Structure 1
Amino acid sequence: MTLAFLLTSLVIVATPGTGALYTIATGLAHGTRASVVAAVGCTIGIVPAMLAAVTGLAAILHSSAIAFQTIKWLGVGYLLYLAWITWRDKTELVADAVSSERPGSWRITGTAVAVNVLNPKLTIFFFAFLPQFVDPARPPVLQMLYLSAIFMAMTLVVFALYGAFAAGVRTHVISRPRVVTWMRRTFAATYVALAARMAVTTR
Protein backbone atom coordinates (compact mmCIF):
# COMPACT_ATOMS: atom_id res chain seq x y z
CA MET A 1 0.00 0.00 0.00
CA THR A 2 1.31 3.43 -0.95
CA LEU A 3 0.44 7.02 -0.19
CA ALA A 4 -0.67 7.39 -3.80
CA PHE A 5 -3.19 4.58 -3.32
CA LEU A 6 -4.57 6.16 -0.14
CA LEU A 7 -4.88 9.61 -1.70
CA THR A 8 -6.41 8.33 -4.93
CA SER A 9 -8.86 6.13 -3.04
CA LEU A 10 -9.85 9.00 -0.78
CA VAL A 11 -10.59 11.26 -3.73
CA ILE A 12 -12.62 8.55 -5.47
CA VAL A 13 -14.54 7.61 -2.31
CA ALA A 14 -15.19 11.25 -1.41
CA THR A 15 -16.58 12.09 -4.85
CA PRO A 16 -20.39 12.22 -4.57
CA GLY A 17 -21.45 9.21 -6.63
CA THR A 18 -24.51 6.99 -6.54
CA GLY A 19 -23.78 5.44 -3.15
CA ALA A 20 -22.75 8.71 -1.56
CA LEU A 21 -25.85 10.45 -2.89
CA TYR A 22 -28.07 7.73 -1.45
CA THR A 23 -26.35 7.98 1.93
CA ILE A 24 -26.63 11.76 1.92
CA ALA A 25 -30.29 11.62 0.89
CA THR A 26 -30.97 9.14 3.69
CA GLY A 27 -29.29 11.46 6.17
CA LEU A 28 -31.32 14.41 4.90
CA ALA A 29 -34.57 12.49 5.16
CA HIS A 30 -34.14 10.25 8.21
CA GLY A 31 -31.21 11.39 10.32
CA THR A 32 -27.75 10.24 11.35
CA ARG A 33 -28.50 6.66 12.39
CA ALA A 34 -30.25 5.86 9.12
CA SER A 35 -27.39 7.39 7.12
CA VAL A 36 -24.83 5.21 8.92
CA VAL A 37 -26.93 2.14 8.09
CA ALA A 38 -26.96 3.28 4.45
CA ALA A 39 -23.17 3.68 4.53
CA VAL A 40 -22.81 0.10 5.79
CA GLY A 41 -25.10 -1.15 3.01
CA CYS A 42 -23.17 0.71 0.32
CA THR A 43 -19.93 -0.77 1.63
CA ILE A 44 -21.35 -4.30 1.55
CA GLY A 45 -22.50 -3.63 -2.00
CA ILE A 46 -18.87 -3.23 -3.07
CA VAL A 47 -18.04 -6.90 -2.33
CA PRO A 48 -19.51 -8.51 -5.49
CA ALA A 49 -17.76 -6.06 -7.80
CA MET A 50 -14.51 -6.44 -5.91
CA LEU A 51 -14.56 -10.25 -6.04
CA ALA A 52 -15.41 -10.27 -9.74
CA ALA A 53 -12.59 -7.90 -10.56
CA VAL A 54 -10.00 -9.63 -8.38
CA THR A 55 -10.80 -13.05 -9.85
CA GLY A 56 -10.33 -11.87 -13.41
CA LEU A 57 -7.31 -9.69 -12.75
CA ALA A 58 -5.26 -12.41 -11.06
CA ALA A 59 -4.58 -14.09 -14.41
CA ILE A 60 -4.15 -10.87 -16.39
CA LEU A 61 -1.39 -9.55 -14.15
CA HIS A 62 0.68 -12.64 -14.90
CA SER A 63 0.63 -11.92 -18.63
CA SER A 64 2.64 -9.63 -20.87
CA ALA A 65 3.65 -6.00 -20.48
CA ILE A 66 1.18 -5.19 -23.26
CA ALA A 67 -1.66 -6.39 -21.05
CA PHE A 68 -0.38 -4.24 -18.19
CA GLN A 69 -0.19 -1.16 -20.43
CA THR A 70 -3.70 -1.85 -21.70
CA ILE A 71 -5.04 -1.93 -18.15
CA LYS A 72 -3.10 1.20 -17.28
CA TRP A 73 -4.69 3.14 -20.14
CA LEU A 74 -8.10 1.79 -19.18
CA GLY A 75 -7.46 3.34 -15.79
CA VAL A 76 -6.49 6.67 -17.35
CA GLY A 77 -9.61 6.64 -19.51
CA TYR A 78 -11.82 5.76 -16.58
CA LEU A 79 -10.49 8.61 -14.45
CA LEU A 80 -11.08 11.04 -17.31
CA TYR A 81 -14.59 9.64 -17.70
CA LEU A 82 -15.22 10.18 -13.99
CA ALA A 83 -13.96 13.75 -14.34
CA TRP A 84 -16.39 14.35 -17.21
CA ILE A 85 -19.49 12.93 -15.53
CA THR A 86 -18.62 14.58 -12.21
CA TRP A 87 -18.24 17.98 -13.88
CA ARG A 88 -21.57 17.61 -15.70
CA ASP A 89 -23.51 16.09 -12.78
CA LYS A 90 -26.41 18.35 -11.78
CA THR A 91 -28.14 15.96 -9.36
CA GLU A 92 -29.56 17.77 -6.36
CA LEU A 93 -28.49 16.46 -2.97
CA VAL A 94 -31.99 16.37 -1.53
CA ALA A 95 -34.31 13.60 -0.52
CA ASP A 96 -37.50 13.08 -2.50
CA ALA A 97 -39.51 13.60 0.62
CA VAL A 98 -38.76 14.21 4.28
CA SER A 99 -40.89 11.74 6.12
CA SER A 100 -41.45 11.32 9.84
CA GLU A 101 -41.80 7.57 9.31
CA ARG A 102 -38.34 6.10 9.07
CA PRO A 103 -37.78 2.91 7.05
CA GLY A 104 -36.32 -0.08 8.87
CA SER A 105 -32.59 -0.81 8.95
CA TRP A 106 -32.97 -3.88 6.73
CA ARG A 107 -34.82 -1.89 4.10
CA ILE A 108 -32.18 0.86 4.09
CA THR A 109 -29.36 -1.69 3.94
CA GLY A 110 -31.02 -3.63 1.14
CA THR A 111 -31.53 -0.51 -0.94
CA ALA A 112 -27.95 0.64 -0.34
CA VAL A 113 -26.53 -2.77 -1.34
CA ALA A 114 -28.63 -2.76 -4.50
CA VAL A 115 -27.41 0.73 -5.41
CA ASN A 116 -23.84 -0.56 -5.68
CA VAL A 117 -24.51 -4.12 -6.85
CA LEU A 118 -26.56 -2.83 -9.78
CA ASN A 119 -23.94 -0.24 -10.70
CA PRO A 120 -21.72 -1.76 -13.46
CA LYS A 121 -19.29 1.14 -13.16
CA LEU A 122 -18.10 -0.27 -9.84
CA THR A 123 -16.71 -3.46 -11.37
CA ILE A 124 -15.06 -1.47 -14.16
CA PHE A 125 -13.55 0.79 -11.53
CA PHE A 126 -11.93 -2.09 -9.65
CA PHE A 127 -10.75 -3.63 -12.90
CA ALA A 128 -9.04 -0.40 -13.97
CA PHE A 129 -7.93 0.87 -10.56
CA LEU A 130 -6.42 -1.96 -8.53
CA PRO A 131 -3.69 -3.07 -10.98
CA GLN A 132 -2.07 0.36 -10.80
CA PHE A 133 -1.00 -0.36 -7.21
CA VAL A 134 -0.08 -4.04 -7.35
CA ASP A 135 3.55 -5.15 -7.09
CA PRO A 136 4.05 -7.77 -9.86
CA ALA A 137 6.72 -9.47 -7.76
CA ARG A 138 4.22 -10.41 -5.06
CA PRO A 139 1.02 -12.55 -5.12
CA PRO A 140 -1.56 -10.32 -6.86
CA VAL A 141 -4.71 -11.82 -5.30
CA LEU A 142 -3.67 -11.14 -1.70
CA GLN A 143 -2.58 -7.63 -2.59
CA MET A 144 -5.85 -6.83 -4.35
CA LEU A 145 -7.93 -8.23 -1.49
CA TYR A 146 -5.94 -6.17 0.98
CA LEU A 147 -6.25 -2.99 -1.06
CA SER A 148 -9.95 -3.65 -1.59
CA ALA A 149 -10.47 -4.03 2.16
CA ILE A 150 -8.80 -0.66 2.75
CA PHE A 151 -10.93 0.92 0.02
CA MET A 152 -14.09 -0.50 1.63
CA ALA A 153 -13.07 0.76 5.08
CA MET A 154 -12.50 4.24 3.64
CA THR A 155 -15.90 4.05 1.92
CA LEU A 156 -17.65 3.21 5.17
CA VAL A 157 -16.02 6.04 7.10
CA VAL A 158 -16.43 8.72 4.41
CA PHE A 159 -20.03 7.79 3.61
CA ALA A 160 -20.95 7.74 7.30
CA LEU A 161 -19.43 11.20 7.71
CA TYR A 162 -21.31 12.44 4.65
CA GLY A 163 -24.58 11.12 6.00
CA ALA A 164 -24.05 12.47 9.50
CA PHE A 165 -23.10 15.87 8.11
CA ALA A 166 -26.16 15.92 5.85
CA ALA A 167 -28.40 15.03 8.78
CA GLY A 168 -26.89 17.82 10.87
CA VAL A 169 -26.98 20.62 8.30
CA ARG A 170 -29.78 19.52 5.98
CA THR A 171 -31.30 22.98 5.61
CA HIS A 172 -27.96 24.53 4.64
CA VAL A 173 -27.19 21.83 2.07
CA ILE A 174 -30.59 22.13 0.46
CA SER A 175 -30.50 25.91 0.33
CA ARG A 176 -26.95 26.22 -1.07
CA PRO A 177 -26.57 24.09 -4.22
CA ARG A 178 -23.58 26.17 -5.34
CA VAL A 179 -21.51 24.53 -2.60
CA VAL A 180 -22.24 21.10 -4.13
CA THR A 181 -21.36 22.39 -7.62
CA TRP A 182 -18.03 23.75 -6.40
CA MET A 183 -17.24 20.49 -4.64
CA ARG A 184 -17.98 18.40 -7.72
CA ARG A 185 -15.85 20.59 -9.98
CA THR A 186 -12.95 20.34 -7.56
CA PHE A 187 -13.20 16.54 -7.62
CA ALA A 188 -13.39 16.57 -11.43
CA ALA A 189 -10.18 18.59 -11.68
CA THR A 190 -8.52 16.19 -9.25
CA TYR A 191 -9.52 13.23 -11.45
CA VAL A 192 -7.81 14.86 -14.43
CA ALA A 193 -4.63 15.37 -12.41
CA LEU A 194 -4.69 11.74 -11.25
CA ALA A 195 -5.20 10.55 -14.83
CA ALA A 196 -2.19 12.58 -15.98
CA ARG A 197 -0.07 11.08 -13.22
CA MET A 198 -1.18 7.56 -14.08
CA ALA A 199 -0.43 8.11 -17.78
CA VAL A 200 3.25 8.77 -17.09
CA THR A 201 3.62 5.94 -14.56
CA THR A 202 5.72 2.96 -15.64
CA ARG A 203 5.49 -0.55 -14.28
Structure 2
Amino acid sequence: MNIELWLGFVVASSIMLAIPGPTVLIVISYSLTHGKRANLPLLFAVILGTTVAVSGSLLGLGALLRASAFWFTVVKIMGGLYLLYLGISILRDGALPTEPNAPIRLDSRWKLFVNTFFATALNPKSLMFFVAFIPQFINTNTDTTSQLWILAITFITLATIIVSSYAVFASSAFSYLKSPRIQSRFNIASGSLLSLAGIWTLISKRPVS
Protein backbone atom coordinates (compact mmCIF):
# COMPACT_ATOMS: atom_id res chain seq x y z
CA MET A 1 0.00 0.00 0.00
CA ASN A 2 0.94 3.67 -0.29
CA ILE A 3 3.63 4.43 2.33
CA GLU A 4 2.40 8.00 2.79
CA LEU A 5 -1.10 6.78 3.60
CA TRP A 6 0.28 4.19 6.01
CA LEU A 7 2.44 6.75 7.82
CA GLY A 8 -0.54 9.07 8.07
CA PHE A 9 -2.54 6.22 9.57
CA VAL A 10 0.23 5.51 12.09
CA VAL A 11 0.37 9.14 13.22
CA ALA A 12 -3.42 9.56 13.45
CA SER A 13 -3.90 6.24 15.24
CA SER A 14 -1.09 6.95 17.70
CA ILE A 15 -2.62 10.27 18.67
CA MET A 16 -6.06 8.73 19.08
CA LEU A 17 -4.76 5.78 21.13
CA ALA A 18 -2.61 7.99 23.37
CA ILE A 19 -5.68 9.90 24.58
CA PRO A 20 -6.76 8.17 27.82
CA GLY A 21 -10.00 6.24 27.38
CA PRO A 22 -11.67 3.45 29.40
CA THR A 23 -9.01 0.86 28.53
CA VAL A 24 -6.14 3.16 29.46
CA LEU A 25 -7.85 4.13 32.74
CA ILE A 26 -8.32 0.47 33.67
CA VAL A 27 -4.73 -0.39 32.75
CA ILE A 28 -3.30 2.49 34.78
CA SER A 29 -5.54 1.70 37.75
CA TYR A 30 -4.62 -1.99 37.82
CA SER A 31 -0.92 -1.28 37.23
CA LEU A 32 -0.76 1.24 40.07
CA THR A 33 -2.50 -1.08 42.52
CA HIS A 34 -0.99 -4.43 41.42
CA GLY A 35 2.47 -3.50 40.19
CA LYS A 36 4.40 -5.49 37.60
CA ARG A 37 2.34 -8.65 38.23
CA ALA A 38 -0.46 -6.99 36.24
CA ASN A 39 1.62 -6.26 33.12
CA LEU A 40 1.28 -9.63 31.41
CA PRO A 41 -2.49 -10.17 31.82
CA LEU A 42 -3.14 -6.56 30.82
CA LEU A 43 -0.93 -6.92 27.74
CA PHE A 44 -2.76 -10.04 26.54
CA ALA A 45 -6.15 -8.47 27.32
CA VAL A 46 -5.39 -5.37 25.25
CA ILE A 47 -4.06 -7.42 22.33
CA LEU A 48 -7.03 -9.80 22.29
CA GLY A 49 -9.64 -7.11 23.00
CA THR A 50 -8.32 -4.80 20.28
CA THR A 51 -8.09 -7.73 17.85
CA VAL A 52 -11.72 -8.66 18.51
CA ALA A 53 -12.89 -5.05 18.07
CA VAL A 54 -10.89 -4.43 14.89
CA SER A 55 -11.76 -7.82 13.36
CA GLY A 56 -15.42 -7.23 14.18
CA SER A 57 -15.27 -3.92 12.37
CA LEU A 58 -13.66 -5.45 9.30
CA LEU A 59 -16.15 -8.31 9.27
CA GLY A 60 -19.09 -5.92 9.24
CA LEU A 61 -20.07 -5.50 12.89
CA GLY A 62 -19.13 -1.83 12.90
CA ALA A 63 -21.20 -1.19 9.78
CA LEU A 64 -24.09 -3.13 11.32
CA LEU A 65 -24.00 -0.94 14.43
CA ARG A 66 -24.08 2.17 12.27
CA ALA A 67 -27.04 0.87 10.27
CA SER A 68 -29.10 -0.83 13.00
CA ALA A 69 -30.44 1.10 15.97
CA PHE A 70 -31.39 -2.18 17.69
CA TRP A 71 -27.94 -3.80 17.57
CA PHE A 72 -26.24 -0.53 18.44
CA THR A 73 -28.45 -0.31 21.54
CA VAL A 74 -27.68 -3.93 22.50
CA VAL A 75 -23.91 -3.47 22.28
CA LYS A 76 -24.12 -0.01 23.85
CA ILE A 77 -25.98 -1.35 26.89
CA MET A 78 -23.59 -4.29 27.29
CA GLY A 79 -20.50 -2.09 27.05
CA GLY A 80 -21.94 0.74 29.15
CA LEU A 81 -23.10 -1.53 31.96
CA TYR A 82 -19.76 -3.32 32.03
CA LEU A 83 -17.84 -0.04 32.30
CA LEU A 84 -20.25 1.07 35.01
CA TYR A 85 -19.72 -2.21 36.87
CA LEU A 86 -15.93 -1.83 36.71
CA GLY A 87 -16.11 1.81 37.74
CA ILE A 88 -18.30 1.08 40.75
CA SER A 89 -16.09 -1.87 41.76
CA ILE A 90 -12.92 0.23 41.67
CA LEU A 91 -14.71 3.14 43.34
CA ARG A 92 -15.94 0.83 46.12
CA ASP A 93 -12.41 -0.47 46.70
CA GLY A 94 -11.19 3.08 47.06
CA ALA A 95 -14.00 4.07 49.43
CA LEU A 96 -13.52 1.15 51.83
CA PRO A 97 -11.67 2.19 54.99
CA THR A 98 -8.15 0.78 55.28
CA GLU A 99 -5.67 0.58 58.10
CA PRO A 100 -2.41 2.52 57.54
CA ASN A 101 -0.33 -0.67 57.40
CA ALA A 102 -2.98 -3.01 56.02
CA PRO A 103 -1.92 -5.18 53.05
CA ILE A 104 -3.34 -4.16 49.70
CA ARG A 105 -5.95 -6.59 48.36
CA LEU A 106 -4.82 -7.97 45.00
CA ASP A 107 -7.10 -9.39 42.34
CA SER A 108 -6.20 -12.54 40.42
CA ARG A 109 -4.42 -12.16 37.09
CA TRP A 110 -7.40 -13.84 35.43
CA LYS A 111 -9.76 -11.16 36.77
CA LEU A 112 -7.43 -8.41 35.53
CA PHE A 113 -7.38 -10.02 32.09
CA VAL A 114 -11.15 -10.55 31.84
CA ASN A 115 -12.09 -7.05 32.99
CA THR A 116 -9.63 -5.35 30.65
CA PHE A 117 -10.54 -7.58 27.69
CA PHE A 118 -14.29 -6.94 27.90
CA ALA A 119 -13.83 -3.22 28.48
CA THR A 120 -11.72 -3.09 25.31
CA ALA A 121 -13.83 -5.37 23.11
CA LEU A 122 -17.33 -4.17 24.15
CA ASN A 123 -16.97 -0.59 23.01
CA PRO A 124 -19.46 0.28 20.23
CA LYS A 125 -17.80 3.64 19.63
CA SER A 126 -14.49 1.94 18.87
CA LEU A 127 -16.16 -0.48 16.46
CA MET A 128 -17.83 2.33 14.53
CA PHE A 129 -14.83 4.64 14.74
CA PHE A 130 -12.63 2.11 12.99
CA VAL A 131 -15.18 1.65 10.21
CA ALA A 132 -15.39 5.41 9.66
CA PHE A 133 -11.67 6.01 10.18
CA ILE A 134 -9.92 3.38 8.10
CA PRO A 135 -11.39 4.14 4.61
CA GLN A 136 -9.56 7.47 4.62
CA PHE A 137 -6.26 5.59 4.39
CA ILE A 138 -7.20 3.10 1.69
CA ASN A 139 -5.95 3.38 -1.89
CA THR A 140 -8.94 2.23 -3.94
CA ASN A 141 -6.80 1.77 -7.05
CA THR A 142 -5.15 -1.35 -5.60
CA ASP A 143 -6.26 -4.42 -3.66
CA THR A 144 -8.26 -3.14 -0.68
CA THR A 145 -8.42 -6.40 1.30
CA SER A 146 -4.69 -6.59 1.90
CA GLN A 147 -4.63 -2.89 2.82
CA LEU A 148 -7.41 -3.41 5.36
CA TRP A 149 -5.51 -6.16 7.13
CA ILE A 150 -2.23 -4.23 7.04
CA LEU A 151 -3.94 -1.29 8.71
CA ALA A 152 -5.70 -3.60 11.18
CA ILE A 153 -2.43 -5.25 12.22
CA THR A 154 -0.79 -1.82 12.45
CA PHE A 155 -3.58 -0.53 14.69
CA ILE A 156 -3.43 -3.58 16.99
CA THR A 157 0.37 -3.24 17.24
CA LEU A 158 0.16 0.47 18.06
CA ALA A 159 -2.54 -0.14 20.66
CA THR A 160 -0.40 -2.82 22.29
CA ILE A 161 2.70 -0.61 22.39
CA ILE A 162 0.95 2.51 23.68
CA VAL A 163 -1.22 0.85 26.31
CA SER A 164 1.70 -1.32 27.44
CA SER A 165 3.76 1.84 27.87
CA TYR A 166 1.06 3.21 30.17
CA ALA A 167 1.10 -0.06 32.11
CA VAL A 168 4.88 -0.14 32.49
CA PHE A 169 4.98 3.51 33.56
CA ALA A 170 2.21 3.01 36.12
CA SER A 171 3.60 -0.25 37.49
CA SER A 172 7.03 1.38 37.89
CA ALA A 173 5.37 3.89 40.21
CA PHE A 174 3.82 1.07 42.25
CA SER A 175 6.68 0.98 44.76
CA TYR A 176 6.28 4.70 45.41
CA LEU A 177 2.51 4.51 45.81
CA LYS A 178 2.08 1.60 48.21
CA SER A 179 0.31 3.80 50.72
CA PRO A 180 -3.31 2.57 51.08
CA ARG A 181 -4.42 6.18 51.36
CA ILE A 182 -2.83 7.18 48.03
CA GLN A 183 -4.13 4.09 46.23
CA SER A 184 -7.57 4.65 47.74
CA ARG A 185 -7.67 8.18 46.35
CA PHE A 186 -6.56 7.00 42.93
CA ASN A 187 -9.19 4.24 42.91
CA ILE A 188 -11.86 6.80 43.77
CA ALA A 189 -10.72 9.05 40.91
CA SER A 190 -10.37 6.31 38.28
CA GLY A 191 -13.55 4.54 39.42
CA SER A 192 -15.48 7.79 39.10
CA LEU A 193 -14.12 8.39 35.59
CA LEU A 194 -14.94 4.84 34.48
CA SER A 195 -18.44 5.15 35.92
CA LEU A 196 -18.92 8.39 33.99
CA ALA A 197 -17.62 6.66 30.83
CA GLY A 198 -20.17 3.89 31.37
CA ILE A 199 -23.00 6.40 31.83
CA TRP A 200 -21.85 8.35 28.78
CA THR A 201 -21.87 5.12 26.73
CA LEU A 202 -25.37 4.24 27.93
CA ILE A 203 -26.85 7.63 27.01
CA SER A 204 -24.93 8.07 23.75
CA LYS A 205 -26.90 8.09 20.52
CA ARG A 206 -26.21 6.21 17.33
CA PRO A 207 -24.45 8.43 14.76
CA VAL A 208 -26.58 9.27 11.77
CA SER A 209 -24.91 8.31 8.49
TM-score by length of 2: 0.59
Counterpart for residue 115 of structure 1 = 119
Q: Distance in 2 between matches of 1:36 and 1:23?
A: 11
Instruction: Answer whether contact 1:23 1:39 (CA < 8 A) is retained.
Output: no
Alignment gaps of 5+ in structure 1: 60-91, 178-203
Q: Distance in 1 between matches of 2:141 and 2:161?
A: 31
Instruction: Give the deviation of 1:160 after TM superposition.
Output: 1.2
Instruction: Answer whether contact 1:46 1:122 (CA < 8 A) is retained.
Output: no
TM-score by length of 1: 0.60
Q: Deviations over 1:103-148 (max 9, x none)?
A: 2222211111100222111101111111111111222222111111
Q: Distance in 2 between matches of 1:18 and 1:48?
A: 16
Q: Deviations over 1:65-119 (max 9, x none)?
A: xxxxxxxxxxxxxxxxxxxxxxxxxxx9xx6447634322222111111002221
Instruction: Give the deviation of 1:29 after TM superposition.
Output: 0.9
- The match for 2:14 among 4, 10, 27 is 10
Instruction: Answer whether contact 2:28 2:170 (CA < 8 A) is retained.
Output: yes
Q: Secondary structure at the match of 1:45?
A: helix
Counterpart for residue 42 of structure 2 = 38
The reply on whether 1:157 has 2:161 as its aligned counterpart is yes
Q: Distance in 1 between matches of 2:18 and 2:40?
A: 15
The reply on whether 1:52 has 2:56 as its aligned counterpart is yes
Q: Distance in 1 between matches of 2:144 and 2:29?
A: 37
The reply on whether 1:20 has 2:14 as its aligned counterpart is no
The amino acid of 1:147's aligned partner reads L
Instruction: Answer whether contact 2:53 2:122 (CA < 8 A) is retained.
Output: no
Q: Secondary structure at the match of 2:60?
A: helix
User: How many correspondences in the alignment?
Assistant: 142
Q: Secondary structure at the match of 1:160?
A: helix
Per the alignment, do residues 141 and 55 of structure 1 end up closer, same or farther by CA in structure 2, a change over 3 Å counting? farther
Alignment identity in percent?
A: 26
Counterpart for residue 140 of structure 2 = 136
The amino acid of 1:155's aligned partner reads A
Instruction: Answer whether contact 1:53 1:127 (CA < 8 A) is retained.
Output: yes
Q: Distance in 2 between matches of 1:26 and 1:14?
A: 18
Q: Secondary structure at the match of 1:31?
A: helix
